[in-house]
């Protein structure tokens, strides 16, 4: 168990102190295996269960004294077990400190029984506090060690001297059982590790060649240099010595970045990591790993060097823009950069370098220090060309009228100007997406964000305002000029004056941007004056709500500075920076920037504050709570990215969010629950929400007065209720009643969609269906089948489909007039809606009276027509729904034959590659073949050889329904095919 905890378990450092076990499926499996082992020892091995540990297992428990039964002596502050040895109790629990000491497996098993639903949490706490439990159970001589372990030999010597060591035999048995558990845990983890993709020499070589083509001393280079430590390459492509290749080493690199010390890197088949560097006065290196392992070289460099990540993005953007020649001087047309372009070919990058040699030489040197007093554009304005530097119409006309016999140098200069105009325009287009040379790009494209990428408007249209702009526009521009040229006092006064304007107005925001105010405000964040920082952040917080402004702020490097401000000791600065980050991180690239510069870890650290239920909070503690609220707002925006969700979990954000969820303050709960519901799409978060007892708090807040908070809580339950345990917890904490009340609020569509979704997922459990039946939710749901958006209809119909499994509810749907609107929805076009509607109609058709209404409304024909849809999900759902319809129709055989081409259509679906489609079609054919005339028709369509070809399947669900179909369609034709042997084999 010690080796498994060291090698197999996944640990993370959640703040300062001892590492924590992450909430991952692998760790949960490990904890459950250990719990089963303790229960097995207690029930099957009584002697080993009674063995007293050499040292107690000690940890901080969260148990109530009242939970202990008659086997314990209970006082006000302590609990002591009645079982003891020589007066020493086997369990001691100090209620004041929460510390518990356990000496036997017997008491461990009883403790897990007392903990009930919290046994997983208690096991986790025990293992976190006792990283090597075997050493405490059997003694220090059995501690987990690397290399040769002689503890077994020492134990055998004790067994031989059994007279001197009476407990040696029991100790040996216990040691063997623990070793067996260790091997089981390690094997389980190895199965997962073996599925990971491994690197190869060719992939590493391609990455290095790519990076070398973009290395150098210039501003546009991604690295200073990247070189092998050995120039000799073996026939297998490796450069590591043969005795290191057996460990998976491929090569060793020396990398010089623009912003870090020299990196000494090992490229291994398992990944890329830092090694110990060269040995002094030797040509050898220290091969030991120093830090984490990364999946490839690009990912490694992005994590180690923020400058590398920034320059790589710029190089990709410039390369995409150079793929087409610059347009002639005219109105810039919208341009799309091809997403599927191959960026991994060194020839293309070499071509790009040649094209940019001239432009690099012409590029002016950028100043190294910012100066807010200067009128010129600050150096943070790196990527965008200011609009006031573009050629005017008069200049363009002069360029056209110039003598065609100009010098070659003049022609080249004109081309540079054209290229810059083209870049400025192209940067404003919606679809300027760049191909990533690593898998990070493809993952970022699949973020869980429900917000689409905002479309920036053409900045050139702003020039049309001219003199029609209000006076505030010109007043703000004057104030910005004072910001640029004034001293410290004048700067503070100018900031205060700017705040007097309505900064939420688009005209005011336009004025600040047009005159270069954004660059100045960002520069002020890099000063040492707190007042200037606070004033600048207050303005940026307001104007960053504009989609164009936040994109400009991200391009100008404002996010990086705000992330650094999160380390400030000034709490007002922390709050303002976090709120501004929350506004800017609404699009993918901004969220990525926050993560790459360490923003997630800093934001998570802001969540750590005093318990909000404490009475008589000081002003300082209230400020800490406000900092936590702002941190939660920023994490909410960042959590729309899958990689950011992982980063929040690894930074220890889950327990801190669980603590904040108990807050009585609505303004704190909204961002906390918003973050949780965004992250609940990940299985690890759903598990954490369940185990950290957050479901109870989510249910409690369903009754809040804030409809926004109710919506986020319902949406979180909607996502978490995919798991059966969560559905049971919602019922246990009386959450079904509040959900039914929320469904009646039909005026709030977002809340309605979240509530009906939660009802749908909760109704998967039949115990919840019984509760919903008593709450009379069916009538409310049926009233929502008309006049609602598709998002609501999908959830409403899904809920009715789950509820209709109950006979009484099927009757209630009929009496409430729900059959007709359900059948009408079969003519829709939304795939998710059609899947849910077919399921609901199929469940209703189990009742004969419902079936007669469905048949009269032509519902069976509509279901049959859905078999033509290309979606396998719709085909399978429609085929399942046809089964009860055919079974309960009065004239089923005649009805089926009345559909022209219907039987041929369903038989041809046996050619599908989808298992669910095949199983559902087999089930439907079994019902169709009950009629002899239909059996003859489908036999003519070749149903027998098609069924015969499926008998080799290994899927149990398909086998079941295939056997049913074969039994109903069986005739003499089957004897001519090898189907009988296959069926016998299945049996």
Q: Which domains does the chain have, with CATH numbers?
A: 1-194 (no CATH), 201-304 (no CATH), 471-544 (1.25.10.10), 546-692 (1.25.10.10), 813-985 (1.25.10.10)
Token pair in block for residue 619:
């002003």
Ranking 502-511, 705-714, 819-828 by mean pLDDT, the lowest is 502-511
pLDDT tens-digit series, residues 909-939? 999 999 999 999 999 999 998 888 888 898 8
If one compares 969 and 10, the residue with the highest pLDDT of the two is: 969
Q: How confident is the model at residue 500 (pLDDT cuts 50, 70, 90)?
A: confident
If one compares 343 and 765, the residue with the highest pLDDT of the two is: 765
* Gap between the Cα atoms of 780 and 796, Å rounded: 10
User: Taking residues 343-363, what's their average pLDDT?
Assistant: 38
Token pair in block for residue 432:
């300027």
Residue 519 predicted with pLDDT over 50: yes
Q: What is the pLDDT of residue 901?
A: 87
Return the half-sphere exposure (C-beta side, CA atoms, 13 A cut-off) of residue 938: 35
If one compares 503 and 456, the residue with the highest pLDDT of the two is: 503
Tell me if 171 sits within 8 A of 161, measured CB to CB.
no
Residue 148 predicted with pLDDT over 80: no
**Percent of the chain whose pLDDT exceeds 90:** 39
If one compares 641 and 337, the residue with the highest pLDDT of the two is: 641
If one compares 975 and 152, the residue with the highest pLDDT of the two is: 152
Maximum alpha-carbon separation in the chain: 113
Residue 160 predicted with pLDDT over 60: no
Q: What is the pLDDT of residue 606?
A: 93
Token pair in block for residue 694:
């957050």
Ranking 149-163, 183-197, 680-694 by mean pLDDT, the lowest is 149-163
Q: How many helices (H) and strands (E) does the chain have?
A: 52, 15
Q: What is the pLDDT of residue 613?
A: 62
Q: What is the pLDDT of residue 30?
A: 83
> According to the 3-state scheme, what is the secondary structure of 815-883?
HCCCHHHHHHHHHCCCHHHHHHHHHHHHHHCCCHHHHHHHHHCCHHHHHHHHHHCCCHHHHHHHHHHHH
Q: What is the pLDDT of residue 291?
A: 81
143-152, 211-220, 364-373, 555-564, range with greatest mean pLDDT: 555-564
User: Taking residues 318-336, what's their average pLDDT?
Assistant: 49
**Percent of the chain whose pLDDT exceeds 70:** 76
* Gap between the Cα atoms of 312 and 105, Å rounded: 56
* Gap between the Cα atoms of 948 and 962, Å rounded: 9
Q: What is the pLDDT of residue 1?
A: 56
Q: What is the pLDDT of residue 399?
A: 45
Q: How confident is the model at residue 470 (pLDDT cuts 50, 70, 90)?
A: confident
Specify the residue for token string 């190294």. 368
Q: How confident is the model at residue 483 (pLDDT cuts 50, 70, 90)?
A: confident
pLDDT tens-digit series, residues 547-603? 999 999 999 999 999 999 999 999 999 999 999 999 999 999 999 999 999 999 999
| Average model confidence (pLDDT) across the chain | 79
CA angle 791, 547, 302 (to 5 degrees): 95
Q: What is the pLDDT of residue 113?
A: 87
Token pair in block for residue 54:
């050499």
Spell out the residues 6+ positions from residue 571 whose beta carbon is closer than 8 angstroms to its own.
623, 624, 626, 627
pLDDT tens-digit series, residues 239-249? 998 888 877 88
Pairing of strands 57-60, 99-102: antiparallel
Token pair in block for residue 646:
């992982």
Q: What is the pLDDT of residue 620?
A: 85
Residue 302 predicted with pLDDT over 80: yes
Q: What is the pLDDT of residue 419?
A: 42
Token pair in block for residue 901:
């081409």
Q: What is the pLDDT of residue 812?
A: 93
* Gap between the Cα atoms of 872 and 921, Å rounded: 11
Q: If we measure between CA atoms, which residue out of 749, 751, 746 comes closest to residue 706?
A: 751
Nearest-10 crossing angle of helices 517-524, 547-555: 60
If one compares 671 and 348, the residue with the highest pLDDT of the two is: 671
Q: What is the pLDDT of residue 372?
A: 38
Q: What is the pLDDT of residue 474?
A: 84
Ranking 168-182, 411-425, 833-847 by mean pLDDT, the lowest is 411-425
Q: What is the pLDDT of residue 364?
A: 40
* Gap between the Cα atoms of 406 and 412, Å rounded: 10
Q: How confident is the model at residue 352 (pLDDT cuts 50, 70, 90)?
A: very low
* DSSP letter assigned to residue 52: P
pLDDT tens-digit series, residues 355-395? 443 333 334 444 334 443 333 333 333 333 333 334 444 44
49-58, 418-427, 590-599, 975-984, range with greatest mean pLDDT: 590-599
* Gap between the Cα atoms of 951 and 978, Å rounded: 9
* Alpha-carbon distances of 418 from 323, 327, 396, rounded to whole Å: 15, 7, 10
- Record the pTM: 0.57
Residue 810 predicted with pLDDT over 60: yes
Q: What is the pLDDT of residue 24?
A: 61
Q: What is the pLDDT of residue 481?
A: 80
Ranking 891-895, 897-901, 982-986 by mean pLDDT, the lowest is 982-986
Query: For residue 273, what are the β-bridge partners?
Result: 266
Return the half-sphere exposure (C-beta side, CA atoms, 13 A cut-off) of residue 173: 12
Question: Quick count: other Cβ atoms within 10 Å of Cβ 690?
Answer: 19
Alpha helices in 544-693 (DSSP H): 547-555, 558-565, 571-584, 588-596, 599-606, 619-638, 642-650, 653-660, 666-679, 683-691
């Amino acid at each position: 168990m010690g080796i498994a905890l060291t090698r197999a378990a996944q640990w993370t450092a959640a703040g300062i102190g001892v590492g924590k076990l992450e909430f991952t499926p692998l760790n949960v499996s490990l904890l459950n295996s250990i719990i089963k082992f303790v229960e097995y020892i207690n029930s099957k091995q009584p002697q080993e269960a009674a063995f007293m540990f050499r040292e107690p297992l000690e940890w901080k428990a969260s148990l109530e004294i009242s939970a202990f039964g008659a086997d314990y002596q209970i006082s006000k502050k302590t609990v002591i077990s009645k079982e003891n040895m020589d007066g020493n109790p086997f369990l001691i629990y100090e209620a004041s400190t929460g510390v518990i000491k356990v000496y036997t497996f017997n008491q461990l098993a009883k403790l897990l029984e007392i903990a009930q639903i919290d046994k997983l949490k208690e096991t986790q706490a025990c293992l976190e506090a006792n990283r090597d439990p075997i050493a405490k159970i059997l003694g220090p001589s059995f501690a987990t060690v690397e290399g040769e372990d002689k503890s077994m030999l020492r134990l055998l010597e004790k067994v031989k001297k059994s007279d001197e060591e009476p407990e040696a035999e029991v100790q040996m048995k216990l040691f063997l059982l623990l070793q067996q558990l260790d091997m089981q845990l390690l094997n389980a983890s190895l199965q997962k590790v073996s599925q990971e993709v491994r690197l190869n020499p060719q992939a590493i070589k391609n990455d290095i060649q790519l990076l070398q083509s973009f290395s150098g001393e210039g501003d546009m280079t991604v690295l200073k240099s990247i070189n092998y430590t050995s120039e000799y390459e073996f026939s297998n492509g490796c450069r590591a010595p043969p005795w290191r290749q057996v460990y998976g080493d491929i090569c060793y690199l020396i990398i010089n970045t623009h912003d870090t010390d020299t990196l000494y890197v090992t490229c291994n088949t398992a990944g890329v990591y830092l090694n110990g560097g060269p040995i002094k006065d030797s040509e050898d290196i220290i091969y030991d790993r120093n830090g984490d392992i990364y999946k490839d070289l690009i990912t490694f460099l992005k994590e180690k060097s923020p400058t590398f990540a920034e320059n790589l993005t710029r190089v990709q953007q410039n390369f995409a823009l150079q793929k087409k020649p610059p347009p002639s001087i005219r109105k810039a047309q919208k341009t799309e950069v091809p997403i599927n372009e191959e960026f991994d070919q060194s020839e293309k990058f070499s071509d790009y370098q040649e094209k940019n040699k001239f432009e690099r030489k012409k590029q002016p040197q950028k100043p190294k220090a910012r100066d807010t007093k200067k009128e010129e554009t600050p150096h943070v304005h790196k990527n965008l060309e200011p609009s006031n530097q573009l050629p005017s119409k008069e200049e363009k006309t002069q360029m056209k009228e110039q003598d065609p016999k100009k010098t070659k140098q003049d022609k080249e200069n004109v081309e540079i100007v054209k290229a810059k105009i083209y870049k400025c325009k192209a940067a404003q287009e919606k679809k300027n997406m760049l191909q990533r040379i690593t898998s990070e790009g493809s993952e970022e494209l699949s973020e869980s964000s429900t917000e689409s990428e905002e479309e920036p408007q053409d900045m050139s249209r702003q020039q049309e305002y001219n003199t029609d702009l209000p006076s505030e526009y010109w007043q703000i521009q004057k104030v910005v000029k004072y910001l640029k040229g004034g001293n410290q006092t004048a700067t503070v006064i100018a900031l205060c004056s700017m705040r007097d304007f309505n900064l939420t107005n688009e005209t005011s925001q336009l004025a600040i941007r047009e005159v270069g105010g954004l660059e100045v405000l960002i520069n002020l964040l890099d000063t040492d004056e707190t007042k200037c920082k606070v004033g600048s952040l207050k303005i940026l917080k307001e104007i960053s709500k504009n989609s164009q402004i936040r994109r400009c702020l991200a391009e100008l490097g404002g996010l990086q500075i705000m992330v650094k401000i999160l380390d400030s000791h000034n709490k007002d600065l922390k709050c303002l920076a976090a709120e501004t980050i929350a506004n800017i991180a609404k699009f993918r690239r901004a969220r990525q920037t926050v993560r790459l510069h360490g923003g997630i870890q800093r934001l998570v650290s802001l969540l750590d504050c005093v318990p909000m239920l404490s009475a008589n909070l000081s002003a300082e503690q209230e400020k800490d709570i406000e900092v936590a609220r702002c941190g939660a707002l920023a994490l909410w925006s960042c959590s729309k990215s899958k990689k950011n969700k992982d980063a929040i979990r690894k930074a220890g954000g889950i327990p801190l969010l669980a603590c904040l969820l108990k807050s009585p303050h609505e303004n704190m709960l909204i961002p906390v629950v918003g973050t949780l519901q965004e992250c609940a799409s990940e299985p690890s978060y759903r598990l954490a929400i369940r185990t950290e007892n957050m479901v109870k708090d989510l249910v409690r807040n369903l009754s809040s007065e804030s409809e926004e908070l109710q919506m986020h809580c319902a949406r979180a339950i909607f996502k978490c209720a995919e798991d059966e345990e969560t559905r049971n917890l919602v019922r246990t904490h009386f959450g079904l009643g509040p959900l039914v009340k929320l469904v009646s609020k039909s005026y709030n569509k977002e809340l309605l969609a979240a509530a009906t979704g939660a009802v749908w997922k909760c109704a998967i459990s039949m115990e919840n269906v019984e509760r919903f039946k008593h709450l009379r939710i069916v009538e409310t749901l049926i009233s929502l089948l008309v006049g609602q958006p598709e998002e609501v209809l999908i959830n409403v119909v899904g809920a009715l489909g789950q509820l209709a499994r109950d006979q009484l509810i099927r009757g209630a749907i009929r009496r409430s007039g729900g059959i007709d609107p359900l059948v009408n929805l079969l003519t829709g076009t939304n795939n998710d809606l059609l899947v849910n509607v077919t399921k609901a109609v199929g469940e209703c058709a189990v009742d004969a009276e419902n079936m007669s209404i469905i048949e009269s409304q032509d519902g069976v024909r509509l279901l049959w027509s859905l078999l033509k849809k290309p979606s396998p999900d719709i085909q399978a759902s429609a085929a399942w729904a046809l089964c009860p319809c055919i079974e309960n129709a009065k004239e089923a055989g005649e009805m089926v034959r009345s559909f022209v081409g219907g039987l041929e259509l369903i038989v041809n679906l046996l050619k599908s590659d989808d298992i669910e489609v095949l199983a559902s079609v087999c089930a439907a054919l079994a019902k169709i073949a009950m009629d002899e005339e239909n059996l003859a028709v489908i036999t003519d369509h070749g149903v027998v050889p098609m069924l015969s070809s499926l008998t080799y399947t290994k899927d149990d669900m398909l086998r079941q329904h295939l056997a049913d179909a074969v039994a109903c369609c069986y005739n003499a034709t089957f004897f001519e095919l090898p189907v009988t042997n296959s069926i016998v084999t299945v049996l």
